[in-house]
Every structure is written in structure tokens, then in C-alpha cells.
Amino acid sequence: MTLNQRIKAFAALGDFLRSKPQVLRDVIAQAAVKNPWYTPANTIKQMEAIASNLEYDKLEAWVAPFGDIDTTKKVGLILAGNIPLVGFHDILAVLIAGFTAQIKVSSDDAGLTSFLLNALVEIEPQFATQIEVVERLKDFDLIIATGSDNSSRYFEYYFGQKPNIIRKNRNSIAILTGRESREQLEALGHDIFDYFGLGCRSVSKLYIPKDYPIDHFFEGIEIHKGIIDHFKYGNNYDYNKSIYLINGDKHFDNGFLLLKEDTKFASPLAVVFYETYESLEDLTAKLELEKDKIQCIVTPSAISLDIPTFELGGSQTPSLTDYADGVNTLAFLKANA
């Protein structure tokens, strides 16, 4: 199969997702039953984000710098399941580059990955020989594994002798100036609440100026208050609120989000941590020292950091070149073909 055939097949998969046939709607509904975090709205949002990248011109431009890689190697993929189809970009990179993908999906996947792979094979049957969905990886040449800090140690122990990309915990942050409009804060709400805040691109930490008006922030995100009606999210909100009240921890509460001052990046579900800053220059220097913990930044400010940065509301819709952890997957595959 040529590179052009692979590009055309993925572009056709994008057309399939955009057309939203009944079979796709049925799969989305079934996924919500199997995994309550995969609400139809969130799964549709992810599929729309994927489809926006699966356009022929975008795919062609993305792979052009790497040429048609000639390889018979097999890449082991260990996929996360924190949000719907979170590992699709890795699958796309491996298959479009001409490798065989041996895929271990998450137990939380709810059948979504297999459904899209089956749709791809229907579009281009030659992909059938390049796709293996397995319970246990074996006989692979390269490995791309995504997990927590704990699982990454396991991955490094067992797979470290192979060429690898092993991803650990990362979180995303927002830097506010205090001059944001209501519309900008509504957009920031998507960075915080889309996928219930479970993704590595979900904002879990705010940096705000001293004397920042918290009420202004809460007013801006009020449009997202319906999230509290999801029973799993609501349970986490109630639990964390109870802990803070019992412990006497100072926090702000708007009825669906808890805001607590903390130096950590990773906040509990339904909680966003915050810190104050005095100058963007000092904050930039501080974040430079901890950039390996940050997936991306959303901010209306111009900052000089080697970390992917988006406008408010932009963290959850990465382009093809917005690689997880800043590691260029296609370059890694090219170097190890």
C-alpha cells in the first residue's frame, strides 16, 4: 500500500465521521452505557476533533517532511482510556507511516477504537494486515505507551530495551491576566470541563494575578454549570467539598467547581488549583523549571516558553502537529524504521 493510498483511506474515514451515520450514533450511545464518562456529547466532540484533522490536504502536509517510509516493523501501542479515543493520534501516525500497529486498548475504551479500526479496514482492506488488536503485546520492534507515572516505571522496566516513547502524567495550565472578557472565560471553561477534566490537555491549574477577582472567573464559567448533573462528576465534587470542609481548607465554591490554592499541577476531579503571580516574567522563569510536567498552556498573553500554547478554549482541539509531551511521533518512527 502506498503512502497516497493510506492518506486517502484516512481522509475517507474523516468523511465517514463527519457524515454521522446511524451506526456511528448507535456506537456512541453504547459507549456511554459501557463507560459513563464517555457521554455522547464528549464522544461526539472527540470524533469531530479527529475528523477535522482527517482531511487529505492536512494529512499530506503533515507526512510530507518524512516521505514514504519503507518498513516492515511492528509498533506496540499501549493506549490510555481516560477520554474517548485518546490514543487515536498514535494509531494514525503508526499506520499512515506504513508500520504495523499491535494495539493494546484500555479496558475503559468501550469499543470505540475497534469500531474506528473496523471502519478503516472497510474503507481500505489492505489495512487488515497492518492492524492487530491484542490482549498482550509480543514480538514488536518499537513501543509507544501512555499511562501514569506509576505505570511508566513498569513500561520502562519491561520495554526500555526497545526504541520507545513512554508518556507519564502531565497536566495543563491557564495563565490569566485579570482582563479576560466573559467570552474568553466561557472558552476557558471548555479547557477545564470538556471530558470532565480527565484529559492531559484539561486545565487543572490557574495562575492568576494577585487580587484577582474570583467572582469574575466564576461568572465567566457559569455557562458550564450543567456538568454537576453528571452523577460521577457530582459525586467527586461532593466528596472533595466534604474533605475541604472537614479539614478547614480554604477554598472557593460556585456549586459545580472548587477552586483551591495549591502548588501542585494535578488537581482532584471537580477541583482546579490556583497560584497567584506578581509578574509574567517571574512566572515564565518558574514554569521553565517545571515544563516537563506541563502538557500545554492556555493564555491570552504572549509568553516565551517551549511549551505548546493555545488561546483560551483551544487546548482540547490539537492539530496533527500538536504531539503529546512534545515528542514528534512521526520523527520517532522515521528514525527507527
Question: Do 164 and 192 fall into the same domain?
Answer: no
CA-to-CA distance for 218 and 237, rounded, in angstroms?
A: 16
Predicted confidence at residue 302, as pLDDT, reads: 84
Q: What is the pLDDT of residue 304?
A: 84
Average pLDDT over residues 4-30: 96
Same domain, 176 and 249: yes
pLDDT at 123: 98
Domain CATH for 289: 3.40.309.10
- In the chain, how many domains are there? 2
Could you tell me which residues come within 8 angstroms of residue 156 by beta carbon, excluding any fewer than 6 positions away?
164, 166
Confidence of residue 246 (pLDDT cuts 50, 70, 90): very high
Residues 203, 173: contact at Cβ < 8 Å? yes
What is the SS3 assignment for 133?
strand
CA-based nearest residue to 234, from 251, 212, 255? 255
Query: Are the C-beta atoms of residues 184 and 219 closer than 8 Å to each other?
Result: no
Query: Is the domain of 149 the same as that of 207?
Result: no
Domain assignment of residue 337, yes or no: no
Task: Say if residue 216 is in the same domain as residue 116.
Answer: no
Same domain, 303 and 191: yes
| Residue 161 and residue 51 share a domain | yes
Q: What pLDDT does residue 151 have?
A: 86
Residue range 136-160: average pLDDT?
Answer: 90
Domain range holding 88?
A: 3-169
- Cα distances (angstroms) measured from residue 327 to each of 143, 238, 254, 323: 14, 37, 37, 6
Identity of the amino acid at 305: L
pLDDT in tens, 42-77: 999 999 999 999 999 999 999 999 988 989 999 999
Local structure of residue 248 (DSSP, 8 states): T
Same domain, 22 and 140: yes
Q: Is residue 157 part of a domain?
A: yes
Are residues 110 and 197 located together in one domain of the fold? no
Question: Alpha-carbon distance 98 to 77, whole Å?
Answer: 15
Give the three-class secondary structure for 146. strand
- For residue 15, tell me if it sits in a domain: yes
30 and 135: one domain?
yes
Residue 197 has pLDDT above 90, yes or no: yes
20 or 235, higher pLDDT = 235
Average model confidence (pLDDT) for the chain? 96
Residue 157 has pLDDT above 90, yes or no: no
Under 8 Å CB-to-CB from 116, ≥6 apart: which residues?
A: 13, 85, 88
Please, which residues bridge with residue 252 across strands? 259
Report how far apart the first and last C-alpha atoms of the chain are (Å, whole number).
16
Q: What is the domain-level CATH number for residue 103?
A: 3.40.605.10
Among 169, 198, 213, the domain-final residue is 169
Q: Is residue 282 part of a domain?
A: yes
Q: How many Cα atoms are found within 13 Å in the side-chain-facing hemisphere of 57?
A: 1
pLDDT digits (tens, 9 = 90+) for 287-314: 999 999 999 999 998 888 889 999 999 9
158: enclosing H helix or E strand = helix 149-159
Question: For residue 88, is pLDDT > 90?
Answer: yes
Q: 95 and 131 in contact (C-beta within 8 Å)? A: yes
Residue 280 to residue 177: CA distance in whole angstroms: 9
Residue 177: CB atoms within 10 A of its CB come to 14
pTM of the model: 0.95
pLDDT (tens digit per residue) in 174-194: 999 999 999 999 999 999 999
Considering the domain architecture, whether residues 31 and 161 belong to the same structural domain is answered as: yes
DSSP secondary structure of 252-294: EE-SS-EEEE-S-S---TTEEEEEEES-HHHHHHHHHTTGGGE
Q: What is the DSSP letter of 319?
A: -
Residue 149 sits in the same domain as residue 12: yes
